A and B are shown apart, each in its own frame.
Chain A
Amino acid sequence: MEQTIRKRLLILIIIPILLFPMASLAYAHFTDTVVEKYKIHVAYPDIEIGSYKVLSKWDGCLIKTCVVDNTITIQTKIFPCWYAWIGLILHNQGCQPVSVQAPSYNVYDPNDVWKYFTHTEYFYGPYDKGEFATADPKVWDGLKWWQLPPKADPTSPPISLEYCHKLVLWIKLKFDPPSGGCKCYCYNFKIKISITVGWTPELIEGSSWTWTPPT
Chain B
Amino acid sequence: MGTISRSQLGKSLTHHYTRRKNNLGVKVVITLIMPMLLISMGSFGYALLNDSINTIAELDAADYHIEVTNCIVKAYNGFGLYQFFWDPTTVSFNDSNIFPGWELILNITIHNTADSWICKVNYTIFYWNETSSTWKPTDENGLLNLFKLEYETKFYNATGELIVGDPELLPDQSVFNIERLKFVANPQEFEELLGRTFDIQIEIYGTYPDPDPLEGAA
Interface residues of A (CB under 8 A from B): 44-49, 57-58, 61-62, 69-83, 86, 88, 90, 145-149, 151, 171, 173, 175, 184-185, 187-200
Contact = CB atoms under 8 A, between A and B. Distances in A.
Given A62-B118, A81-B211, A146-B215, A76 B59 contact: yes
8 contacts: A62-B170, A74-B56, A82-B208, A145-B215, A146-B218, A171-B55, A192-B59, A195-B54
Contact of B58 (A61, A73, A196, A197): A73
Kindly name the residue among A46, A58, A69, A83 whose own CB sees the greatest number of chain B CB atoms within 10 A: A58
Contacts of A198: 51-52
B161 to A, nearest CB: 20
A74 B55 contact: yes
Contacts of B51: 45, 198-200
Nearest to A143: B218
Contacts of B54: 70-72, 194-197
B41 interface: no
B209 A74 contact: no
B60 interface: yes
A2 to B, nearest CB: 29
The SS class assigned to the B binding surface is: loop
Interface in B186-218: 208-212, 214-215, 217-218
Given A78-B62, A185-B61, A146 B56 contact: no
B62 A75 contact: no
Nearest to B168: A58
Contacts of B208: 79-82, 185
List 6 A-B pairs, minimum CB-CB distance, nearest first: A79-B208, A146-B214, A81-B211, A77-B62, A195-B55, A193-B57
Given A78-B61, A146-B212, 20 more contacts: A57-B212, A61-B170, A62-B118, A70-B53, A71-B56, A79-B209, A80-B208, A82-B208, A146-B214, A146-B218, A173-B57, A188-B63, A190-B61, A191-B57, A191-B59, A193-B57, A193-B59, A194-B54, A195-B54, A196-B55
Contact of B60 (A77, A148, A195, A200): A77
Kindly name the residue among B53, B118, B210 whose own CB sees the greatest number of chain A CB atoms within 10 A: B53
Nearest to B116: A77
A210 B60 CA distance: 62
B61 A77 contact: yes
B49 interface: yes
Nearest to A73: B56
A72 B176 CA distance: 39
B62 A79 contact: yes
A58 B209 contact: yes
A44 B50 contact: yes
B61 A187 contact: yes
A192 B62 CA distance: 15
A79 B59 CA distance: 10
Interface string B54-85: 11111111110000000000000000000000
A119 B170 CA distance: 26
B55 A78 contact: no
B58 A75 contact: yes
